[in-house]
A and B are shown apart, each in its own frame.
Chain A
Amino acid sequence: GVTASGRRSQIAWKSYDPTLAHCNVTVWNPLGNGLSYEEYDFPIFSLKDDNDTQVIRQCYLNHNQAVNGSSPRYPLCAMQLYSHMSAVTDTATCMRRNDINFSISPEMVCDPLGDFNVWASTRPLNNTEKGHKMWEKVVIAAARLDSRSFFFDVAPGAESGASGFITLLAAAHALRNVTQEAQPNRTIFYTFFQGETFDYIGSSRMVYDMENNQFTVDLDNVHSVLEIGQVGLHGESRLWLHSDPVSRRNSSVNEEVRKLIENLQSAAAGLGFTVGEAGFSQPLPPSSFQRFLRARQIPGVVIENHQLNFTNRYYESMYDNAEYLNVSYPPNLTPEEQLKFVTDTAKALTEVATMVARALYVQAGGAENQQDNINADRQIVSQMLYGFLVRSNNSWFQQLIPSDLTSHLSKLILNYTSSEPTLLVQYLLANLTGSAINITQENCQNQREDENDKESKHMFTYMWVQGAAPPNNTKREGFCVRSTVRLSRAVSPAFELRDYTSKDYSTWTESRWKSIKGRIFLVASHELEMLTLGVGVGVLLASLLLTYIISSKADILFSSGREPT
């Protein structure tokens, strides 16, 4: 695991509050060793395919194993790994090298990290008009989508990422009906941020856009923030509500935070766990909410499963997977049966989602007596856990996505480079918060309800998904989903401002690479090689000498054959 990227990305604590700066008060991830942030000048590969590792092991056993205590003899098995990365030193250097344009096709050496945030609102908002929306007050419910590990393609992030956004998705689904029938006076904004692992790319970009009137709402519209952090319960059944002590020194902010905490605590009543308030003396844990606080002191709460430091032993490690979260299935189940099976983890997360949904509803101004109608669906939660942590190519996900994306569903990838989780969350959120409407595929794909409709595309998004196949048929019946789900660009503002050494925004870039491969072969001893060279040189010199002698004495040696002159 890695140290929580807290040091760099905590709110500029020095100016905010010097006593809380530089993790003086709390070290969030004491088990982390910062391995991913070290620089290595040799390639490190992780092999999962048994066939490849068998070949390597066989070569070792055949040639490199010491027999009876003596050291192994040449030729020995060796392996050569290629993992050429074009970028060097740091972002400023590689971005400068990108701009060098001597040839017709300039070679890029690195790219800024970027993806999309997914967001949706309970009340449709005009997305084409950016900036402040009059009379709109918005409660932001946030979660992060991504995680990372030491190896780029094995980053399940079960507890650090998936537990959070799955809970939020389930809460959004639980709120769908009640926000249509008894609409609260504030709008709830579900936001899923991408790139949070790398110094909060997604949330910093959204705040930047809000500040520059490039987003559907702006910071004046934001009433409060509720963020769902790591909420996987490992049997303790206790969640903690963290808030920012510095902003709470302002009495009006403090009042709002207190009300939010009360909402959460009353929403948790009757559910299978307790919520406690984390201490006033400690700072906010690393979270997307901090980016909002940097811009403005907004009341907000972060829900975590730890009070002081993380309980997640595998934060940002490849071992933070389904097994760690106890998502396990009885043996001998088919994939379909596993999809339908409700695990205990799913039950626990469903309770958390129910609490979040109820608290959000009351926070948005809804009536408290509606709370008992708001319940998260444990089947949905279980299916989401299966899809994101075990196998994403399952029948439920297949129904939710358009037909041209089916080939993209592959085994679990949950990290910054792949936009597959972004896409999946986008379509899931549409399915869970939107509704199916009866319009033609052509209209649907052109973002309109009929030929003359020009207004709907500002308020809604229409997606044509492939749906399920009816029992007697193999052809799927597609349908149109109308929702308020949108994508917003998640590229760090540092790259917009071209400030590659920015201290305020993330400046992470990814190097470009040549083909990554390895090969094994035998290596001969150095002595044999030098012997070969020596013999060669000897043969050459000897033949030069001999030829010189013979050719100078050729007259005599071959005299009897010469014709008479």
Chain B
Amino acid sequence: MTAAVFFGCTFIAFGPAIALFLFTIAREPLRVIFLIAGAFFWLVSLLLSSLVWFISVQISNKDSAAQQKGLLIFGVVLSVLLQETFRFAYYKLLKKANEGLLALSQEETMPISIRQLALRYMSGLGFGFMSGAFSVVNILADSVGPGTVGIHGDSQHYFLSSAFMTMAIILLHMFWGVVFFDACEKQRWWAVAAVVISHLLVSCLTFQNPDYVASLIPTYVILFLMGVWAFYSAGGSLRNLKLCLTCKDKDFLLANHRSR
């Protein structure tokens, strides 16, 4: 659909992620490393789930449509579970690395700690970047051409809705990362289960496509809810928000400082 659509969809899909990267991660090399490590973990989980998928497709009956559909659902569920497993593995790795990093670092204070918000959301964002890239890059490549989807009867809003879905997924991964790590720290296993279930829910919503309204709107609702949850678990509160918005923050800082 030409370069206009290509750039439009790229910006929609990766806009928030790029903004976050530019303003919060790009300046500090250690953060970049953690981001990339997170992306790598997601990639490994994808590799494993693709392997299982490939083998099961080969041994299945290619002619039966019902079996293929069932296989697809199985593949999606397996992939989600593997991703979450690897998120947990990443958490464990970072926990172990904590002490090591401390020893290596030359500053007195811990340069980065698992309790820091930055670390949590970076791992989530790493997952999100990679996941978004795999969802949407081949669609973007096709969108550069002169045509659009639809000659076989499919909806022509395919590119747009894929881009919005990808944006939602990236942000969702980021929120899940925050919530997940926080929950693991505080040993709240019900929160971990909630993250996994919401991930499953969002993935299964995509089976509603090509009814894009039915799949996008619930996804965005879940996105909003997860965002709120992540905000709270990251240490935000309604009071802070109000203070921020009414610009009374300076007084608050001073007040806080004194009271310590």
Question: What is A's interface to B at a CB cutoff of 8 Å?
Answer: 59, 75, 77-78, 80, 520-524, 528-537, 539-540, 542-544, 546-548, 551, 553-565
Contacts and interface: CB of A to CB of B under 8 A. Distances in A.
A78 B16 contact: no
B149 interface: yes
Given A533-B8, A556-B240, A544 B148 contact: no
Nearest to A537: B11
Contacts of B260: 564
Contact of B19 (A78, A544, A559): A544
A532 B150 contact: no
B117 A561 contact: yes
Contacts of A536: 7-12, 15, 163
Interface string B1-42: 110110111111001101110111000000000000000000
Contacts of A551: 23-24
Given A522-B156, A557-B236, A546 B146 contact: no
**Among B16, B18, B167, B253, residue most surrounded by chain A Cβ atoms (within 10 Å):** B16
Contacts of A544: 15, 19, 22-23
Contact of A539 (B16, B113, B156, B249): B16
Nearest to A556: B249
Contacts of A548: 19, 23
Given A521-B151, A524-B5, A544-B19, 20 more contacts: A75-B148, A524-B1, A529-B8, A531-B8, A533-B4, A535-B160, A536-B12, A539-B12, A539-B15, A540-B15, A540-B19, A546-B19, A547-B23, A547-B24, A556-B240, A556-B253, A557-B235, A560-B237, A561-B117, A561-B234
B8 A535 contact: yes
A449 to B, nearest CB: 64
A524 B148 contact: yes
Contacts of B244: 553, 556-557
Interface string B247-260: 00100110010001
B15 to A, nearest CB: 4
B249 A562 contact: no
A534 B8 contact: yes
B115 to A, nearest CB: 6
Main secondary structure of the interface of B (DSSP, over half): helix
Closest 5 CB pairs of A and B: A561-B235, A521-B147, A536-B11, A536-B8, A532-B8
B150 A522 contact: yes
B249 A553 contact: yes
Given A536-B9, A561-B117, A77 B151 contact: yes
Contact of A535 (B12, B145, B240): B12
Contacts of A563: 113, 115-116
Given A553-B244, A559-B235, A59 B16 contact: no
9 contacts: A521-B148, A522-B147, A532-B5, A540-B19, A543-B19, A546-B19, A547-B24, A558-B236, A559-B235
A546 B240 CA distance: 16
Contacts of A560: 235-237, 240
A562 B236 CA distance: 10
Contacts of B235: 557-562
Contacts, number: 130
A523 B148 contact: yes
Interface string B201-238: 00000000000000000000000000000000111110
A564 B5 CA distance: 48
With most chain B CB atoms within 10 A of its CB, the pick from A523, A531, A536, A559 is A536
Contacts of A530: 4
Contact of A533 (B7, B19, B240): B7
A534 B160 CA distance: 12
B101 interface: no
A77 B109 CA distance: 64
Contacts of A531: 8
A263 to B, nearest CB: 67
A537 B9 CA distance: 9
Nearest to B149: A522
A564 B163 CA distance: 41
Contacts of A524: 1, 5, 148, 156
A61 to B, nearest CB: 13
Select the residue from B5, B167, B233 with max chain A CB neighbours within 10 A.
B5
A522 B150 CA distance: 6
Contacts of A521: 145-148, 151
B115 A532 contact: no
Contacts of B116: 563
Nearest to A521: B147
B7 A557 contact: no
B243 interface: yes
Taking each of A530, A531, A532, A551, which has the highest tally of chain B beta carbons within 10 Å of its own beta carbon? A532
B26 to A, nearest CB: 11
A12 to B, nearest CB: 51
A75 B260 CA distance: 65
